[in-house]
């Protein structure tokens, strides 16, 4: 897929293009990575799911704060008709933002790197929390747990105080407020549909002087989704994302250095079903009715 606009960035999943007039065109591909390696086979409909979910969440969160979305309709994109057909359903025209240099992570459950830290030190991002919790426990209340944005390598978990030192106390306080409110709204809606949002990552930036939600929002790529049916305290529930890919790769004995083994078709399809399932369960809509 070739777009005639200037390419600003190509990531593991997305391409970001300069659309002129302080706008960007963000295109979500079907690429998938695991253990920081991009795999050889795309996941059908993954890019469409990420875009459709972000669009739906931004609508639901629009009263909370501004966001960067201008349009998801291909006719609004400043590209050729052929290019519009190529990116339909997987692209967003957005406003440029001055992005915060921190990741705005919210944890509602104790899992992943947060659980590892807690198990070792009794803290979460350097701050004390309730004693006696076990893996996948629901936290007494959702916690804002920021991280750095690493240019190379992995992001680093930091405390709220460290985040405030980076962006300033007023901005850190506002980012925490927006992130916690967005998480609580999203987690409540998802829970009604049978999905637990264990944690999620928001990207915030300034647009016209106001802090706004940008990038993808509450998707399987930016969040840890668990089915209520699979949830059990003391263990790690399977997640609504690339879990089949990770499980299969682990079973091969792969050393996690590129290149990765080629994914079997059944793993590709199982992963696609999980992404689609998360969208359709939460929003009660078919991905086949999304923009084409």
pLDDT digits (tens, 9 = 90+) for 70-102: 999 999 999 999 999 999 999 999 999 999 999
**Where residue 1 falls among pLDDT bands split at 50, 70, 90?**
low
Select the more confidently predicted residue: 36 or 19: 19
Angle 206-179-170 from CA coordinates, rounded to 5°: 55
> What average pLDDT does the chain have?
95
pLDDT at 153: 61
Predicted confidence at residue 2, as pLDDT, reads 78
In words, the CATH class of domain 98-230 is: alpha beta
Q: What are 205-226's pLDDT values in tens digits?
A: 999 999 999 999 999 999 999 9
Give tens-digit pLDDT for 101-121.
Answer: 999 999 999 999 999 999 999
The conformation of residue 203, written as its DSSP 8-state character, comes to E
pLDDT digits (tens, 9 = 90+) for 143-163: 999 999 876 667 889 999 999
Specify burial of residue 234 (Cβ count, 10 A radius: 0-12, 13-18, 19+). Answer: exposed
* pLDDT of 132 over the 80 cut: yes
pLDDT, residue 152, reads: 61
Q: Name the DSSP letter for residue 157.
A: B
Tens digit of pLDDT for each residue in 238-272?
Answer: 888 888 998 899 999 999 999 999 999 999 999 99
Q: How do the domains of the chain map onto residue ranges?
A: 98-230
Q: pLDDT > 90: what percent of the chain?
A: 90
Cis preceding-peptide flag for 85 (omega within 30 of 0) = no
């Amino acid at each position: 897929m070739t777009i005639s606009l200037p390419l600003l960035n190509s990531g593991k999943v997305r391409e970001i293009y300069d659309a002129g007039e302080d706008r960007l065109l963000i295109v979500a591909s079907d690429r998938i990575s695991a253990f920081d390696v991009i795999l050889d086979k795309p996941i059908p409909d993954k890019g469409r799911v990420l875009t459709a979910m972000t669009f739906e969440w931004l609508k639901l969160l629009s009263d909370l704060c501004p966001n960067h979305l201008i349009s998801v309709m291909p006719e609004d994109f400043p590209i050729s008709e052929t290019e519009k057909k190529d990116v339909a359903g997987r692209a967003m025209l957005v406003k440029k933002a001055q992005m915060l240099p921190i990741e705005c992570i919210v944890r509602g459950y104790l899992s992943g790197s947060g659980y590892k830290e807690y198990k070792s030190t009794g803290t979460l991002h350097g701050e004390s929390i309730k004693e006696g919790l076990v893996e996948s426990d629901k936290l007494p209340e959702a916690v804002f747990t920021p991280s750095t944005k690493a240019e190379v390598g992995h992001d680093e978990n930091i405390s709220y105080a460290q985040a405030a030192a980076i962006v300033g106390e007023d901005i850190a306080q506002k980012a925490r407020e927006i992130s916690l409110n967005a998480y609580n709204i999203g987690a409540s809606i998802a829970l009604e549909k049978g999905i637990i949002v264990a944690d999620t990552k928001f990207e915030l930036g300034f647009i016209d002087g106001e802090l706004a939600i940008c990038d993808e929002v509450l998707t399987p790529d930016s969040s840890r989704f668990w089915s209520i049916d699979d949830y059990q305290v003391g263990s790690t529930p399977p997640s609504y994302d690339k879990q089949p890919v990770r499980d299969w790769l682990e079973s091969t004995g792969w050393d996690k250095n590129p290149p990765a083994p080629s994914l079997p078709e059944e793993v590709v399809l199982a992963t696609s079903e999980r992404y689609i399932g998360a969208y359709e369960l939460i929003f009660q809509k078919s991905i086949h009715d999304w923009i084409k």
